[in-house]
Amino acid sequence: MAHRYQIGDVVPFRFLPGIVVASYFTSLLGAITTVELLHRRKTGKGVVGLLHLGACSVSFGLAAIWCMHYVGNRAIILADGDPVLQLYYNPAWTALSAFLPVVFLFLGFIVTDMNSKYENLFVKYTLLNVVGIATGAAITGMHYVGNLGIDNYQLRFDPGYIAGASIIAVGSAMVSFTLFFILKERWINKIWRRLACAAVLAASVTGMHFTASIGTVYELQLLIPKQSERNVNLGVAIALSILACIVCLGIAILHQRRQRKLLDRAQHVVLACATFDEDGRIMVTHEGSLPCQKVTRQYNQRSFTDEFNVSHPVFHWLFKVTRNWGGITEMIPPMRSHLGTMSAKAGGGASSRASESTGGDESEFEDYSVVFRERFCVAAADLAERMGVNVSDLGVLYEEIIMTGTLTAQSLMLQRQKRKNLARDLEAGGPVIPALFGKGQTLFLVRHADSQEALKFIGKGFSFAQVEVIGEHLGREFQVSRQDLLETLRCLREYSRREEGMPATGTYLASFCLKPSYKSFTSGWEVLVPRANTSQLPMVRLSPEPLSALQTAVVTSLSGYSVERCLQQLNQKMSASKQEE
């Protein structure tokens, strides 16, 4: 066939704008998949961690780089569009160009896995620069290796464009990954920020590709009349792009289902674990949620006065159990079996996790409080399993209950406000009765994690975020106001730092003062405690050492006396001692 261009001629080219745009969105699909997989990755040297990094490498290396390259090259129209003069590829070089970016990216992502183990910012930024360079090298290397597989043209590259394309690839990759990993804890559950990061990555791939393409000279070497071979690479790229789209769609669907499940939990009784690191940050999942487990739908009240609150005997039992986990650890399997049997008899069927079983009407059982206690213990065991810790390491129960399920419900501050206004409410007409009720309740287990424990949790896929950063999202999840939840989280943080029990040494004088409780219709008494540490009585130190036998005898002789009489007795003894002298 006679053609305008002969072997050895330089053939001019142009770009089809529509395919250029399509190539960017092809890269964007792969970048989104990669960022979401990185967001959900688990660190560490285990097989699961390596598989996560491998999935990230494949999604970005194949979908975002390789597919974009061949879709982008299809936008190049040589000469007047004669099919014989278009680009054709060698299968061997094409296969090699697919493996090259995956390998480079896998090595780079291994470095990111090391990033979480260092607190020094210089080391962190150095490792992230290594990742950026590896990613830029993967993008640039794939482009030129893929172009080496063009059979019918000899390509000449302008060094200036090579340098410019490399700078675009490396610079954009460094910026995007640095922003993602350094600011990751501030971007928890902020999907639009992750999309922006993916858009920058896709721009780096596309920008590098077309910058390099502009600086390329195509010298005709061979006329290939077979047009079908030209579509093979494009077909594979389209198939991989569709697969990346399916993965993104699957992640979005799972995210929506997970969000609905989390919002549904706000309507039930839930056990949550609040773990704080040494910097006061709280541990959350990759979704920005607290590790939690549903206990039951609701606490079934036997009477109008049987309100489940901090004054309830069941709450007191739970409070003591969480400070003595060893006493019930061996009883959890029988509890799980009992709940499963009970649910099956009630017609609900046994659940794989007894704590999540919802079948039957549990209020029909003779002593529902026992059922609730069993559900709490089994839920704690399930929560510990999900966190990868022992039940004994879950922490201790917080001294308050947060009401959830409505944005008008008050959290822990409601009860504190009721105490402050107790006298005024009594004068207005009787006991304090809450006017706002939440549809659910959350019990918090609180613990403090040292630096080593925090690294282990990060390796299991958890993150640590500032309370102020995560407060808004958790407020929506628990369906309470942001201000109330932030106050709750701050109280939980202070609670995790609190030292319980008596001081190790010294002799102390404590006050045990009671007053009637007006918080509910049930009768009871409240004990005076310091607001800063409600697990201790008000006390002052008498002596840094234990009392001597004589001092003990003096204190014992004052047993049963009022403070005024004690002072009179001591003054008399002091006067008598002075007269003897």
Mean pLDDT of the chain: 77
185 versus 25: the higher-pLDDT residue is 25
* Cross-strand bridge partners of residue 465: 282
**Block residue for tokens 């790229």:** 237
State the pLDDT at residue 328. Answer: 86
379: confidence class by pLDDT, cuts 50, 70, 90? very high
State the pLDDT at residue 259. Answer: 61
Q: Tell me how far apart the 2 most distant CA atoms of the chain are, in Å.
A: 135
Range of 30-44, 429-443, 446-460 with top mean pLDDT: 446-460
* pLDDT digits 0-9 by tens, 194-213: 788 888 888 888 988 899 88
Classify burial at 187, counting beta carbons within 10 Å of its beta carbon; exposed 0-12, middle 13-18, buried 19 or more.
buried
* Alpha carbon of residue 117 to chain centroid: 18
Which of 262, 278, 277 lies closest to 442 in space, CA to CA? 262
Question: How large is the average pLDDT for residues 263-267?
Answer: 60
* pLDDT digits 0-9 by tens, 461-505: 788 888 887 887 788 778 788 888 888 888 888 888 876 556 677
Structure pTM?
A: 0.60
84: confidence class by pLDDT, cuts 50, 70, 90? confident
How far is Cα 391 from Cα 383, in angstroms, rounded to an integer?
8
State the pLDDT at residue 417. Answer: 52
The CA R_g of the chain, rounded to the nearest whole Å, is 34
What would the 3-class secondary structure string for 63-93 be?
HHHHHHHHHHHHCEEECCCCHHHCCCECHHH
Which residues fall within 8 angstroms of residue 258, CB to CB, at 6 or more apart? 287
* pLDDT digits 0-9 by tens, 7-34: 888 888 899 899 899 889 988 888 888 8
Record the tokens describing residue 436, joined without a space: 């706002």
Which ranges in 447-580 belong to alpha helices (H)?
Answer: 451-459, 467-478, 482-496, 549-557, 563-580
Pairing of strands 440-448, 269-276: parallel
**Secondary structure of residue 468 in the 3-state scheme:** helix
Range of 175-184, 355-364, 367-376, 427-436 with top mean pLDDT: 367-376
**Secondary structure of residue 429 in the 3-state scheme:** helix
Q: Where along the chain do its domains lie?
A: 9-261, 266-344+366-416+436-500, 509-538, 541-580
State the pLDDT at residue 428. Answer: 46
524 versus 374: the higher-pLDDT residue is 374
**Secondary structure of residue 547 in the 3-state scheme:** coil
The H or E element containing residue 32 is: helix 17-39
Among 196-205, 212-221, 339-348, the minimum mean pLDDT is found in 339-348
Is residue 42 over pLDDT 70? no
